[in-house]
Structure 1
Amino acid sequence: MSYKKLIGLMLMMVMILLLGVGCSKTSNNEQVLRYALEAEPATLDPAKSTAIPESLVELQLFEGLTRLDAKDQPTLGAAEKWDVSSDGLTYTFYLRSNAKWSNGDPVTAADFEFAWKRALNPELAFENAYMLFPIKNAQAYNEKKLGADALGIKVLNDHTLEVTLEKPTAYFLNLTAFHAFYPVNQKTVAANPDNWANDVTTLIGNGPFKITNWVHSGQLQFAKNDQYWDVAAVKLSKMEWPISDSQSTRLALVENNQADMMVEPPVVEHDRLNQAGLLKISPYLGTYYYVFNTQKAPLDNPKVRKALALAISRESLVKNVIKGSKKPAYSWVAPGLINPATNKDFREEGGNYEVEDVALAKKMLAEAGYPEGKGLPPITLLFNTGEMHKSIAEAIQEMWKQNLGISVTLTNQESKVFLESRHQGEFQIARASWVGDYADPMTFMDVFKDPTNDAKYNNPVYNRVIEQAQSTMDQKVRMQAMHDGEKILFDDGVILPIYYTTQPFVTKPYVKGYFWSVLGLADFKTAFIEK
């Protein structure tokens, strides 16, 4: 037996001991999916959860008014239809008459009203509250400036919900598929407000599956929800999800036939897994980048910022340092978002705004008053502690030295301190990353319209362009405005994009019918096993 195989079996046995029971053995025709979950869910309360593992579980258990399809476009969910007023401010959702909770209770408009008001409740201080701010007076209520009665949420009857927005929000239907907008069973939550989402006897959902067992830090088990309105589309009879935060353990479970799928296999295994036909790469709506503090010298000079961005090789970084099947980034908005007006990928039709040109970088630096880097004040690059962040920083530091003749100091901080330093503007250049909250380019574009943005960037022209995109329902107009805004960001040299994130995962070839969202979630509603 090879050493690698022995280690794999040892890891598998450790996992089985942690679970208390082994994963069930499936026959060729049994519809059971075994997914190795990457972390113990901190909570399965949709209003509280903030991490991908929780969101992934919740997607199987709950359903919003809309549900994202395989192209990340909103489609019918708990609502069978909706109307939108001509001014784009009022949405009327009509819930399905056969929408039920997993315990058989009907899903009503009041359940959505209760869930949304709960998510916004300032006394509960849920981190996801900001996602509901497009609703009229939602931010004011969350900031204790108005009462809950002022919210633009109105139950017209058991199956009709009227929602009024602060301003036209063309991506609002995308938002209603996000977990913060899921309904919760009012009776269950009210009876056990602090612990309802951690107990399988009270964790009531309205999605395609229901939870049947939860061995904390061990395993989650699901069964088909026979009360689900679209139960005929659900082919799996159950799911068994072992839990481990170890990439090697999860991979061993798959390779030793104890699981069918896992995410983020160790980078050193990618080539081998790819040759074996097990490695898949899904788009993931995120960008890893460096942000410039546009108010701190010498980075307050856009020519210095652009010189630094021009003088690195992203291809070299990805190939030799980053790996993991990541993609070099030459723009801000990550790939994977469809422009509804053209049905094309927003990134592909927008093209690249960043280039790599050492000669031009030297010219820019000279025009800024620092020929060959002479006289350039000290510059420090800040990153949070982590081997990959350090490796990327060191590689870029060397590129700047070789290509521009400048020496940049590297400083690392523990994550909590680092985030505070970045938020307070106590840096010149800092590592950053952004992963979209919803499937629309605005999830990127409004970052630098926010007056508290890390770059301390404020361009009235940029703000007006983004406001135009935020205030129209015309997709052609708003998409072009966001393309224009992205160009302004790079004309001003606000960020240095490095790579687009991707979602590497390993799956057995017999798992069919699932799809990965660019938001990092796998939807198993229509998944099936074909052996």
Structure 2
Amino acid sequence: MILCAWITAGCGDTVNNDTVRYALEAEPATLDPAKSTALAESNVELALFEGLTRLDENEQPQPAAAERWEVSADGTEYTFHLRSGLVWNDGTPLTAHDFEYAWKRVLNPQTASENAYMMYPLLNGEEYFKQEKTADEVGVKALDDKTLFVKLKAPITYFLNLTAFHCYYPVPKHVVEKDPEIWAANDKIVSNGPFVLTRWIHSNQLQFVKNDKYWDKDKVKLANMLWPISESQSTRVSMVESGQANLTVEPPISEQERLTKAGLYHISPYLGAYYYSFNTAKAPFDNPDVRRAFSLAVDREMLVNNIIKGGKKPAYAWVPPGLINPATGKDFRAEGGDFVEYNPAKARELLAQAGYPDGKNLPPITILYNTNEMNKAVAEVIQSMWKENLNVEAELLNQETKVYLDARNQGNFQIARASWIGDYADPMTFMDVYLDENNDAQYHNPAYNELVLVAQHTNNQAVRMDKMHTAEKILLDDAVVLPIYYTTQPYIVQPYVKGYRWSILGTIDFKEAYVEPENQS
């Protein structure tokens, strides 16, 4: 049993009152910022590393490794000035050359980084990844040990947000080049953030201590952290309730009421959407009226209240709430409003208008989803809704995740379950999903593309947000996606753990976390 194994492994360790014990939901596959993709890995890396900026409680980038920067008038050139005295936790100086090396390493096709696309805003970044340009032509250059010059291919107003993302972290060239495959796969990892990894018992636990060489160490209150690892939701709940851990994510839905009464259950905003994607190139979903009909026939309120739960919110548009329009100070979702609804009568009218009255003459319909109990439950309810509201028989097809993703990428589906979590705190992280070259829905709308590209390439926030609002309306009017719910981050925590911060991007920051010993049992 994982819980017993963790207790056995940890029984000889000294765990003081200043220790946060976060039950991690999965074993990190790697802690290499260039190669990691999972949220569990991002959380560990946020404790160990730090980029030029770090996001604050409002998801805004604040000076971190860079103490200041200048931006050119056209928004395409950034000059970052690093803090004096930055060092890696092994005492080696950390310089602008480490950032240049790290960023180009992400783009190097030999690295095979799944995060390479996040570097495409750099001049010639995409071209280098595609081996059309050289590394020397990429728009990042260390001018000296403390100065990093960045040239973008176009102005990106959220570029400073990107510099807080994990693939933009520096990596220690002097360590990576000695052992590029396993330098980040053990507890000898050299890093520059608030904490240092001191022990990694794979599939069991991670142990951290405060990094006394960190530039902002005075704000780090914890001397230690100890994170047990378990993929089992119930095991992690047991850990928190027994005191073997004091914080974890995603408790079972069945436990929500009991954990709420115990004062442990909380919900944090999470910038994500769960939806169905239509393949707009496959009949009958090459007809927008059919897509609209199927969307109108889904009762999102019922799904969320009875099946999904967990504080999730029914989705009636694409971009989730929680993103502020800098031009107006208002929430982007709130000012954009809803674009879809539940209206079975209108759904039947549209289906008849498309040539399929009462569902007659429709080709066979299949819902594709990756194997997961919740995905199955949602698909079964939607299958039932389409039968009741449209007289349509839909088949369910579940596939192992790797096969399912390949099917989506190849366009081998009619309707597929999907989810999208924002990479940075700007509506563009959702809007660019359906640009021509990106999307699995085979959606190609020149008007949509033009609006999104204008929003990508202007510094004018009022213009950006207006174009994205218009583009989102086009996307939903075309019924390319069938939004179902906006995600949240349910978690449980003992009340004596303070100062941690959940990001709407799903990560948890323990830099300023602390424990109130007098309240700890």
TM-score by length of 2: 0.96
Distance 1:324 1:494, change over 3 A: same
* Structure 1 match to 2:319: 333
- Aligned residue among 279, 293, 307 for 1:307: 293
What does residue range 211-290 of structure 1 map to in structure 2 within 5 Å?
A: 211-290=197-276
**Which residue does the alignment assign to 1:16?**
7
**Helix, strand or coil: the match of 1:196?**
coil
- Residue of structure 1 aligned with 2:79, choices 76, 89, 92: 92
| Greater shift in the superposed pair: 217-226 or 385-394 | 385-394
SS at match of 2:6: helix
2: CA distance, partners of 1:448 / 1:487: 13
CA distance in 2, matches of 1:74, 1:303: 42
Instruction: Spell out, residue by residue over 1:461-502, the C-alpha distance to the aligned partner (whole angstroms, 9 max, x if none).
Output: 000100110010111211121111111101111110111111
Cα distance in 1, alignment partners of residues 171 and 438 from structure 2: 33
Deviation by residue 1:434-478 (Cα, 9 ceiling, x = unmatched): 111222111110010133411111110000100110010111211
Alignment of 1:187-198 (within 5 A): 187-198=174-185
Q: Encode CA deviations 1:7-52: one digit per residue, 9 max, x unaligned.
A: xxx87434313x35366454xxx32111111111111111111111
Q: 3-state SS of the aligned residue for 1:285?
A: strand
Q: Specify the alignment match of 1:49 in structure 2.
A: 36
Shift of 1:88: 1.0
Equivalent residues in 2 for 1:133-172 (5 A)?
133-172=120-159
**Which of 309, 313, 316 in structure 2 is aligned with 1:323?**
309
Shift of 1:406: 1.8
Q: CA shift at 1:411, angstroms?
A: 2.1
8 Å contact kept, 1:260–1:508: yes
Sequence identity (%): 60
CA shift for structure 1 position 512: 1.0
Per-residue CA deviation, residues 119-146 of structure 1 (Å, 9 max, x unaligned), is 1111221111111111011111111111
Give the whole-Å Cα distance in 2 for the aligned partners of 1:285 and 1:357.
27
Matched-pair contact (CA < 8 Å) for 2:121–2:156: yes
Change (3 A) 1:178 1:452: closer
User: Which amino acid counterpart does residue 136 of structure 1 have in structure 2?
Assistant: L
2:148 partner SS: strand
Aligned equivalents of 2:37, 2:12: Cα separation in 1: 29
1:91-110 pair list within 5 angstroms:
91-110=78-97
**What CA deviation, in whole Å up to 9, does each residue of 1:340-371 have, x standing for no partner?**
22333222222211111112112212222222
The match for 2:505 is 519
Offset at 1:243? Answer: 1.2
Cα pair 1:23 1:258 within 8 Å, conserved: no
Q: Is the 8 A contact 2:296 2:340 kept in 1?
A: yes
Could you say which residue in structure 1 is the equivalent of 2:164? 177
What letter corresponds to residue 229 of structure 1 in structure 2? W
Structure 2 CA distance for aligned equivalents of residues 103 and 504 of structure 1: 37
TM-score, scaled to structure 1: 0.94
1:398 aligns with 2:384: yes
Equivalent position amino acid for 1:16 in 2? I
Structure 1, unpaired ranges of 5+ = 1-9
Partner SS for 2:395: strand
Distance 1:369 1:116 in 2: 53
Match for 1:384: what amino acid? N
Aligned partner of 1:111 in structure 2 is 98
Q: How far apart are residue 380 of structure 1 and its match?
A: 1.9
Looking at structure 2, the residues matched to 346 and 85 of structure 1 have their Cα atoms a distance apart, in angstroms, of 27
Q: Give 1:463's aligned residue.
A: 449
| Equivalent residue number for residue 81 of structure 1 | 68
Return the letter of the residue paired with 2:161: N
Aligned in 2, Cα 1:427/1:341: closer, same or farther, shift over 3 Å?
same
Which residue of structure 1 aligns with residue 187 of structure 2?
200
In structure 2, relative to structure 1, the CA distance for the partners of 1:38 and 1:22 (3 Å cut) is farther
The answer to whether the 8 A contact 1:289-1:496 is kept is: yes
Distance 1:259 1:183 in 2: 31
Q: Map residues 488-503 of structure 1 onto 2, 5 A cutoff.
A: 488-503=474-489
Q: 8 Å contact 1:12–1:256 — kept in the other structure?
A: no
SS of residue in 1 equivalent to 2:406:
helix
Distance 1:12 1:408, change over 3 A: closer
1:153-193 deviation digits (Å, cap 9, x = unpaired): 11111111000011111111111001100001121212222
- Are residues 98 and 340 of structure 1, via their aligned partners in 2, closer, same or farther at CA, if it must alter by over 3 Å? farther
* C-alpha contact 2:122 2:151 (8 A) present in aligned 1: yes
In the aligned structure 2, how far is the partner of 1:327 from the partner of 1:270?
16
Aligned residue number for residue 340 of structure 2: 354
Distance 1:272 1:350, change over 3 A: same
RMSD: 1.5
> Cα deviation per residue 1:74-99 (whole Å; 9 max; x = unaligned)?
11111111111111110111111132
Report the 3-state secondary structure (helix = DSSP H, G, I; strand = E; otherwise coil) of the residue aligned with 2:196: strand
Report whether the alignment pairs 1:433 with 2:419.
yes
SS in structure 1 at match of 2:115: helix
* SS in structure 1 of the partner of residue 177 of structure 2: helix
CA distance in 2: counterparts of 1:413 and 1:31, whole angstroms: 44
- Residues matched between the structures, number: 517
Q: 1:198 to 1:14 in 2, by over 3 A?
A: closer
1:191 match: secondary structure: coil
SS at match of 1:198: coil
CA distance in structure 2 between the partners assigned to 1:370 and 1:23 by the alignment: 67
Alignment-mate amino acid for residue 279 of structure 1: Y
> Any idea what the Cα deviations from partners look like across 1:353-411, whole Å, max 9, x if unmatched?
11111121122122222222233333222222222222111111111111122222222
189-198 vs 463-472, greater mean Cα deviation: 189-198
CA distance in 1, matches of 2:229, 2:14: 15
**Preserved contact between residue 5 and residue 204 of structure 2 (Cα < 8 Å):** no
Q: 1:388 aligns with which of 374, 387, 395?
A: 374
C-alpha contact (below 8 Å) 1:16/1:22 kept by paired residues: no
Deviating more after overlay: 365-374 vs 348-357: 365-374
Corresponding residue number in structure 2 for 1:126: 113
Which secondary structure does the structure 1 equivalent of 2:32 belong to? coil
Equivalent residue in structure 2 for 1:369, among 337, 348, 355:
355
**Are 2:405 and 1:414 equivalent residues in the alignment?**
no
How far off is 1:305 after superposition?
0.6
